Amino acid sequence: MTYLKPMRAEDLLLPTPAGVCCERGGFHIDPTRPTDKAIITHAHSDHARAGHGAVLATQETLDIMRLRYGPDFAGATQAIRYGETVKLGDVSVTFHPAGHVLGSAQVAVESGNLRIVASGDYKDAADPTCTSFELVPCDVFITEATFGLPVFRHGDPDAEVGKLLHSVQLFSERAHLVGAYSLGKAQRVIALIRKAGYDKPIYLHGAMENICRYYQSRGIDLGDLPLVRDRKKVELVGTITLCPPSALKDVWSRRFPDPVACYASGWMRVRARARQSQVELPLVISDHADWNGLRAIVKATGARDIWVTHGQEDALVHWCQTQGLKARPLDIVGYGDEDETDGTADAGQAGNPA
């Protein structure tokens, strides 16, 4: 008579150190090790790894994985649209937009009357370069906590871009280098600069090119984006260039006239982090939900049980408990680590943008 017992969340999705696993559907979500069947929320390298047997993801996520890892990044692939449902065993899986980067999705896993939403990385702030976050009511909400501390309130990204443009004006004989992760953050920053009325060319580091061109091919207007390669120093006076954060400290940056190192990231809210990155102009622009966003969304899902994958899990778990919600950290090894190694290993390729 076991089928009469209400299903436990762990029977549907089991957290393991390598990601959450659905035994009944025969898949993992964002596994950090190669598996037979993987559902991938988005193409950042700490969530999307090469070498799985089969991958189910949005078309954009599959395209970007192919750009980064080559055509053989998985044995087989299947594209799925937002709002579409597939059946895997007796489990149904539906994709919903996560608002994090182009193609990013939350994955709703459902069986009987239990629904778990694995949200991957997400943000509730406006972003002209990807589909907006959609709230999905659920019983168990699996959330990140990259910026899960009350000190992280990202503020107005337009004001941050205003700072950048003011600096470009004040130091007009210098070049401004903006470090930004090559997938998502870079394109969003470019879109914000365009929105502020800046219509001159915005230069690109070579590592940015692929994904920017891909965004443009999906109809996202980023304006004129020439490559910085082959430009002489004098041609770069007074310009803005987007590059991977690691390139800011690289010999590569010496080709610019007295460059101003800028860095677009949610971490820039904390001075120690900004100083650590040796930037002159920190720009607080993040593709993750901030403390207010995390709390609002956790509450709005109506979930009674909150699983926290990575980031500042202690604080978010504590807050959930003060709200009478069940909450626990999942201790998955490997999410969110890429942002620290970005560039030391493979400049511009890896990266969980913050």
Residue 271 CB, nearest approach to other proteins (Å)? 6
Least CB distance from residue 250 to other proteins, whole Å?
13
Number of residues binding to other proteins, judged by CB under 8 A: 32
Type of residue at 65: M
Does position 144 interact with Zn ion (CB under 5 A)? The reply is: no
- The 3-state DSSP class for residue 195 equals helix
Q: Min. distance of Cβ 108 from other proteins in angstroms? A: 30
DSSP string, 208-273: HHHHHHHHHHTT-------BSTT--GGGGTT-EEEE-GGGGGSGGGGGSSSPEEEEE-GGGGSHHH
Q: Which is nearer to Zn ion, 121 or 124 (CB)?
A: 121
Among other proteins, Zn ion, none, what does residue 217 contact (CB within 5–8 Å per kind)? none
DSSP letter, residue 28: E
CB 179 within 8 A of CB 262: yes
CA distances from 189 to 26, 68, 287 (A): 39, 21, 10
Which of other proteins, Zn ion, none lies near 155, with the C-beta cut-off 5 to 8 A by kind?
Answer: other proteins
Q: Rounded CA gap, 279 and 185, in Å?
A: 17
Query: For the range 50-57, what are the long-range contacts, defined as Cβ-Cβ under 8 Å and sequence gap of 24 or more?
Result: 50/74, 54/78, 56/27, 56/80, 56/86, 56/93, 57/103, 57/105
For other proteins, the closer of residues 152 and 214 by Cβ is: 152
Of these partners, other proteins, Zn ion, none, which one is at the site of residue 121 (CB under 5 to 8 Å by kind)? Answer: Zn ion
x/- contact string, 140-179, with other proteins (CB under 8 A)? ---------xxxxx-x--------------xx--------
Q: What are phi and psi of 179, to 5 degrees?
A: -75, 130
Per-residue mark of binding to other proteins, 297-326 (x: CB under 8 A): ---------------x-xx--xx--x----
As a whole number of angstroms, the distance between CA 118 and CA 191 comes to 28
**Residue selected from 37, 44, 49, 96 as contacting Zn ion according to rule CB under 5 A:** 44
Determine, following the binding rule CB under 5 A, whether residue 121 of this chain makes contact with Zn ion. yes
The contact set with other proteins (CB under 8 A) reads 149-153, 155, 170-171, 269-276, 278-282, 312, 314-315, 318-319, 322, 333, 337, 340-341, 344
Could you list the residues that contact Zn ion (CB under 5 A)? 44, 121, 352
